[in-house]
Amino acid sequence: MIVILKPGVNHDMRQPLIDWLKGQKLGVHISEGDYQTVLGLIGDTAHVDMDLIASLGIVDSVKRVTDPFKCCNRKFHPEDTVVSVGEAKFGGGNFAMIAGPCSVESEEQIVTVAKAVKAAGAQLLRGGAFKPRTSPYDFQGLKAEGIELLKIARAETGLPIVTEIMSIEHLSLFEDVDVIQVGARNMQNFDLLRHLGQLRKPILLKRGLANTLKEFLMSAEYIMAGGNEQVILCERGIRTFEDYTRNTLDLAAVPMLHQLTHLPVIVDPSHATGRANLVLPMALASAACGADGLIIEVHNDPMHALCDGAQSLRPEEYAALAEKVRAVREVSAL
Ligand code: PEP
Ligand code: MN
């Protein structure tokens, strides 16, 4: 249920209502907009007298929300959430670019790529330290050492770092990571999501390989229900019968999610396609359909990459892409 307060109702005027609602064993999520405040009621509202609340002088209207996701629902929070990381901002008309290799391989590799993507305009550096590989015999990442190398690259370039967590056991290693990524394979690792909900730092949540948008939003809800509201959603392609591409990029998810949620939505055209020559067209399409950012794999030597070389751009290809994305953004804003 949401309670929309009349314009001009201040903190003191609304507090008795909030206290009363909390007394009914309901959680109250307060969203203060420029003009109106919306109270989102979380819990079993079946017993709540809607007419009584609607009759109060401070209340504009009361609506039942049947969607199972509440905190991330746009009805609860009509204004876009903006997630800030250093100077970069995602959402609310802001666009940010994350780039870097699939995996951190060495200090030289990560620092070289970090400098190159920064020069091309990327605002954040990605790099996997813990890698969720399909085969246990493939490179599994440099783990703790990989995170240390990312910090060196951050110190050299000033770029905030984004890296994937696979287990709550490793949480302490991520204390000084700027954005924690939850990969597609862990989108429904509910225990992990709950722990990340206790943090107060941005979480990049990727859509699962075969998950609906409702399931995706329920996973964001796990994080937000713990009080961490800094969630960035990432569409990275889903499994379909098509196998020329690694996955099928569901671009309609971007405007659909924007209708359903106030959270920023970015796109990963690298994992979505699995092919370097499809990354540019899909990145441009993502910018055109309203994505709030992009995460793209870039490697200084894709032929010898330890992971995902086939979908990795060379730095100069990334620089050309970034320039075209900026042009599409300008046209889309017309
Ligand atoms: C990644 O970004 O390195 C990754 C493994 O992506 P996904 O979880 O989307 O497969
Ligand atoms: Mn990868």
Q: Which helix (H) or strand (E) holds 24?
A: none
Instruction: Return the ligand number nearest the Cα of 270.
Output: 2
Q: Using a 6 Å cutoff on CB, does residue 102 contact ligand 1?
A: yes
Given a contact cutoff of 8 angstroms between Cβ atoms, the answer to whether 274 and 246 are in contact is yes
Q: How far is the CA of 185 from the centre of ligand 1 (A)?
A: 8
Find the Cα–Cα–Cα–Cα dihedral 101, 95, 327, 213, rounded to 10°. Answer: 80
Given a contact cutoff of 8 angstroms between Cβ atoms, the answer to whether 247 and 209 are in contact is yes
Q: What are phi and psi of 223, to 5 degrees?
A: -70, -45
Q: Using a 6 Å cutoff on CB, does residue 206 contact ligand 1?
A: yes
Q: What is the pLDDT of residue 334?
A: 73
pLDDT tens figures, 168-221: 999 999 999 999 999 999 999 999 999 999 999 999 999 999 999 999 999 999
Q: Using a 6 Å cutoff on CB, does residue 246 contact ligand 1?
A: no
Q: What is the pLDDT of residue 43?
A: 87
Q: How far is the CA of 183 from the centre of ligand 1 (A)?
A: 5
Separation CA 293–CA 29 (nearest Å): 27
Substitution candidate for ligand 1 out of 131, 271, 279, 297 with most atoms within 8 A of CB: 271
Q: What is the pLDDT of residue 46?
A: 86
Q: What are phi and psi of 265, to 5 degrees?
A: -125, 120
Q: What is the pLDDT of residue 33?
A: 85
Please identify, by atom number, the ligand 1 atom nearest to the C-alpha of residue 131. Answer: 5
Q: Whose CA is nearest to atom 10 of ligand 1?
A: 184
Q: How far is the CA of 213 from the centre of ligand 1 (A)?
A: 18
Q: How far is the CA of 49 from the centre of ligand 2 (A)?
A: 51
Q: Is the dihedral of CA 260, 262, 263, 268 positive or negative?
A: positive
Please identify, by atom number, the ligand 1 atom nearest to the C-alpha of residue 206. Answer: 9
Q: What is the pLDDT of residue 133?
A: 94
Q: Whose CA is nearest to atom 9 of ligand 1?
A: 184
Determine the 3-state secondary structure of 73 from DSSP.
Answer: strand
Given a contact cutoff of 8 angstroms between Cβ atoms, the answer to whether 56 and 5 are in contact is no
Find the Cα–Cα–Cα–Cα dihedral 212, 214, 215, 217, rounded to 10°. Answer: 120
Which residue ranges in the chain fall short of pLDDT 50? none
Instruction: Return the ligand number nearest the Cα of 249.
Output: 1
